[in-house]
Amino acid sequence: MNGSPYTGVIVGVRADEEGSRSKERVFSARDEKSEWDASTQPPELWNQYKTDFAPGTHVRIHPLLEWTELNIWEYIERENIPIINLYFDQGNGKRYRSLGCFPCTAPVDSVARNPKEIIEELTSGKFKDIAERSGRAQDKDGGGTLEALRKEGYM
Amino acid sequence: MQRLNIVITGHVDHGKSTLIGRLLADTDSLPQGKLESVKKMCENNARPFEYAFLLDALADEQKQGITIDSARVFFQSKKREYIIIDAPGHIEFLKNMISGASRAEAALLLIDAKEGVAENSKRHGMLLSLLGIKQVAIVVNKMDLVNFSEIAFTKLKVEYSEYLATLGIKSDIFIPISAREGVNLIEHSASTPWYKGPTVLEILDSFKSVEEKENDDFRMPLQDVYKFTRDNDDRRIYAGTVTSGELNVGDEVVFYPSLKRSKVASIESFNTEVKTSVKESEAVGFTLQTQIYVRNGDVVARADQSAPKVSNRFEANLFWLGAKPLELDKPYKIKIGSAQSTIYLEEIKRVIDGDTLDRADEPSVGRHEAACVIFRVHDLLAMELFAENQKLGRFVIVDEYDIAGGGIITEVLEQYTTRRTKALHVNSVLVDKASESTEFEEELFALLRKHFPHQFN
């Protein structure tokens, strides 16, 4: 993002996805060096967010931070939002629950073919106690990886 | 299934992790085989099993991306699902505790029966009250270490109740428990035959979620006025999120502090069926029968219901988290509802700290301290007493670029003005005139639109 004309970016990360994301704020500032320090972030209270920024700050805005995976699917279902079909059974009993780049994303075993069946899987079915990003390699390796990536500018 | 956000707070080592671990285990909310595997691990390492290890084990899993979330833990009762927002007991984590706890609808405050009331027991009690979490149960843990003595329990209850009373909190819910032994968590225990009150799970199930609360009078902080010009669309849509109550087409509304008024012509929302009514927590817009000019941040109320207060001075309980202390007469920014203004600290009545409680004659409010203070605002603001309306009775203070403190309004004070009487009089005459002569306003608007069309695109 450095050198781009944008001073902010709106990102769909959620606190329930992964440890380092759960430490995020809705308005998350990066300084000139793109540094993010989870431990020194100012608080966000109630629905009052940090909306004042020093010149040169790059802001990540996470409006969906408090949503859960289930909320997302319920919203997609309710509003009839078109999505890429990789999230549905590919005809071989596998679908993607979370999508990243090619080498580090693995599909899960699932025959869900639409948002309704995915909601069923998440609420009472097979994925009730299994995390969404369990097929994502960068979340592993002792847990520090995605936090380290976030500091480097990964979303 | 219904959900409730709860926060569990308490001093370090007073047994928070054990309580959470035990609640997860006893409500059957753990991932399959987790309890057995942790017990077995302890056995293999010749280490006595503790319920707190369950949380560590979950945290390890979370680090590896297997379970859901490291900041929140879920468990279920028959009635609903609970999200436990983690609230670190250590002082360095106070900011995180507050950010998390500000989203909680109810709280358990844990006190160690043997060690008694500690610094953070007091600090957290105070913060919960400042955050406006009214549903609080005090859980007296480690009763096994005091032989389940009713006398020890009552003594602690009296001591902590007195402290809570100084904060204006009335909590008569005290539960004697032993998290380690599972006493009074889910079911009543034979260890405390003298205790007839609810168990921890019973009290949690009795708490109300925000959606269950009854409607109050209508309030909507004005976020923006949307104007459309394409295809002769001349709607002005007054948009915001309803913080309480209900609004219907035809209702007369009043904007504060400007006192402008009109009637609701239509309710607008995107991609839904036509609405004639909106209620709490909906994000909506409405149009008015007459076009009026109001500022973002004004509070909209119904003319047939109570009015918010309008002033530029108020007394508040405040907690400060800023790196620099809060100082007298220095400009800060207040954000309340959707309004912003410059604010000055006029007086520090007393500083409340976790230990000694009250210190008078302080020159500033330091980091992690709470205080009772008087603020002076540059502009007139619509505001409410926190006790009457939580969402419009709380505010944050911004120092330079960061939110550095938050507080609740305990008293709205008389307006200050350098030429108080005269200015007030002129003001109210003008406001009356303006609100009466909507005709004048409409003509003015038509003129402005004619001569400055680019301002209205």
For residue B257, say if its preceding peptide bond is cis, omega within 30 degrees of 0.
yes
Count of structural domains, chain A = 2
Residue A92 C-alpha, separation from nearest chain B C-alpha, in angstroms: 24
Average pLDDT over residues B420-444: 55
How many Å apart are CA B316 and CA A14, to the nearest integer?
34
> What is the tens place of the pLDDT at every residue in B247-301?
999 999 999 999 999 999 999 887 778 899 999 889 999 999 998 889 999 999 9
Structural contact between residues B251 and B302, judged by C-beta atoms closer than 8 angstroms: yes
Average pLDDT over residues B352-369: 69
A64 band by pLDDT with thresholds 50, 70 and 90: very high
Residue A58 C-alpha, separation from nearest chain B C-alpha, in angstroms: 13
Structural contact between residues B236 and B226, judged by C-beta atoms closer than 8 angstroms: yes
Structural contact between residues B69 and B62, judged by C-beta atoms closer than 8 angstroms: yes
Domain that holds residue A82: 69-139
- Name residue B193's amino acid: P
How many Å apart are CA B128 and CA B123, to the nearest integer?
9
Structural contact between residues A63 and A26, judged by C-beta atoms closer than 8 angstroms: yes
* For residue B215, pLDDT beyond 60: no
- Residue B70 has a pLDDT of 37
Whether the CA torsion B241, B243, B245, B250 is positive or negative: it is negative
* For residue B95, pLDDT beyond 80: no
- Residue B100 has a pLDDT of 67
Q: Establish if A107 belongs to a structural domain.
A: yes
Q: Where in chain B is the domain with CATH 3.40.50.300?
A: 3-212
The answer to whether B406 contacts A66, with C-beta atoms less than 8 Å apart, is no
A105 and A53 within one domain: no
Average pLDDT over residues A127-140: 55
- Residue B441 has a pLDDT of 65
Average pLDDT over residues B209-214: 63
A77 and A131 within one domain: yes
Q: Choose the closest CB to B403 out of A43, A57, A79.
A: A43
A61 and A26 within one domain: yes
> What is the tens place of the pLDDT at every residue in A15-58?
777 656 666 788 988 876 666 666 667 788 888 999 999 888 88
How many Å apart are CA B136 and CA B327, to the nearest integer?
32
How many Å apart are CA A18 and CA B65, to the nearest integer?
6
Q: In whole angstroms, how far apart are CA A129 and each of A23, A28, A122, B34, B204?
A: 21, 29, 8, 11, 23
Residue A53 C-alpha, separation from nearest chain B C-alpha, in angstroms: 5
The answer to whether B62 contacts A143, with C-beta atoms less than 8 Å apart, is yes
How many Å apart are CA B302 and CA B286, to the nearest integer?
13
- Asked if B159 reaches chain A (Cβ–Cβ under 8 Å), the answer is no
- Name residue B303's amino acid: A
B230 band by pLDDT with thresholds 50, 70 and 90: confident
**B231 φψ region: left (φ > 0), alpha (ψ -120 to 50), beta (else):** left
Closest residue on chain A to B393 (Cα):
A46
Structural contact between residues B55 and A129, judged by C-beta atoms closer than 8 angstroms: no
Which of A39-43, B163-167, B393-397 tops mean pLDDT?
B393-397
Q: Quote ipTM for the complex.
A: 0.76
- Asked if B96 reaches chain A (Cβ–Cβ under 8 Å), the answer is yes
How many Å apart are CA B357 and CA A127, to the nearest integer?
49
Q: Establish if A3 belongs to a structural domain.
A: no
Q: Choose the closest CB to B396 out of A18, A48, A130.
A: A48
The answer to whether B65 contacts A139, with C-beta atoms less than 8 Å apart, is yes
- Which CATH number covers residue A42? 3.40.50.620
A53 and A73 within one domain: no
Contacts 24+ apart (CB under 8 A), B272-278: B276/B248, B276/B249, B277/B246, B277/B247, B277/B248, B277/B249, B278/B242, B278/B246, B278/B247
- Asked if B427 reaches chain A (Cβ–Cβ under 8 Å), the answer is no
A21 and A58 within one domain: yes
User: Cβ neighbours of residue B14 under 8 Å, at least 6 residues apart?
Assistant: B89, B110, B111, B112, B115, B118, B121, B141, B142
- Residue A151 has a pLDDT of 57
- Residue B434 has a pLDDT of 52
* For residue B10, pLDDT beyond 90: no
Q: Choose the closest CB to B403 out of A15, A22, A45.
A: A45
Residues of chain B with Cβ-Cβ distance to A62 below 8 Å are none
The answer to whether B398 contacts A46, with C-beta atoms less than 8 Å apart, is no
* For residue B213, pLDDT beyond 70: no
Count of H-run helices and E-run strands, chain B: 9, 23
Q: Establish if A148 belongs to a structural domain.
A: yes
A132 band by pLDDT with thresholds 50, 70 and 90: low
How many Å apart are CA B179 and CA B25, to the nearest integer?
11
How many Å apart are CA A141 and CA A147, to the nearest integer?
11
Q: Establish if A1 belongs to a structural domain.
A: no
How many Å apart are CA B117 and CA B227, to the nearest integer?
57
The answer to whether B63 contacts A46, with C-beta atoms less than 8 Å apart, is no
A127 and A73 within one domain: yes
A82 and A35 within one domain: no
> What is the tens place of the pLDDT at every residue in B17-66?
888 888 888 888 776 677 887 888 888 888 888 887 777 666 655 444 33
How many Å apart are CA B86 and CA B59, to the nearest integer?
12
- Residue B422 has a pLDDT of 46
pLDDT greater at residue B53 or residue B427: B53
Choose the weakest-confidence range: A46-55, B33-42, B226-235, B413-422.
Answer: B413-422
Closest residue on chain B to A122 (Cα):
B68
Domain topology for B3-212: Rossmann fold (3.40.50)
* For residue A140, pLDDT beyond 60: no
Please name the CATH architecture into which domain B219-302 falls: Beta Barrel (2.40)
How many Å apart are CA B194 and CA B217, to the nearest integer?
43
Strands B402-412, B364-365: pairing is unpaired
> What is the tens place of the pLDDT at every residue in B114-140?
988 877 777 778 778 777 787 899 999
* For residue B156, pLDDT beyond 90: yes
A2 band by pLDDT with thresholds 50, 70 and 90: low
For B309-412, CATH gives 2.40.30.10
- Residue A123 has a pLDDT of 78
Q: Choose the closest CB to A52 out of B31, B71, B401.
A: B401
Choose the weakest-confidence range: A78-82, B267-271, B334-338, B380-384.
Answer: B267-271
The answer to whether A50 contacts B406, with C-beta atoms less than 8 Å apart, is no
How many Å apart are CA B223 and CA B220, to the nearest integer?
9
What length is written for chain B? Answer: 457
Query: Residue B130 in 3-state DSSP?
Result: helix
A104 band by pLDDT with thresholds 50, 70 and 90: confident
How many Å apart are CA B126 and CA B132, to the nearest integer?
10
How many Å apart are CA B91 and CA B264, to the nearest integer?
49
The answer to whether A140 contacts B64, with C-beta atoms less than 8 Å apart, is yes
pLDDT greater at residue B327 or residue B446: B327
- Residue B62 has a pLDDT of 46
Q: Where in chain B is the domain with CATH 2.40.30.10?
A: 219-302, 309-412
Instruction: Work out the mean pLDDT of chain A and round it to a whole number.
Output: 77
Residue B112: both structure tokens together:
């160690």
Q: In whole angstroms, how far apart are CA B285 and each of A61, B255, B339, B422?
A: 24, 14, 17, 37
The DSSP secondary-structure symbol of B413 reads: P
B309 band by pLDDT with thresholds 50, 70 and 90: very high
- Residue B203 has a pLDDT of 94
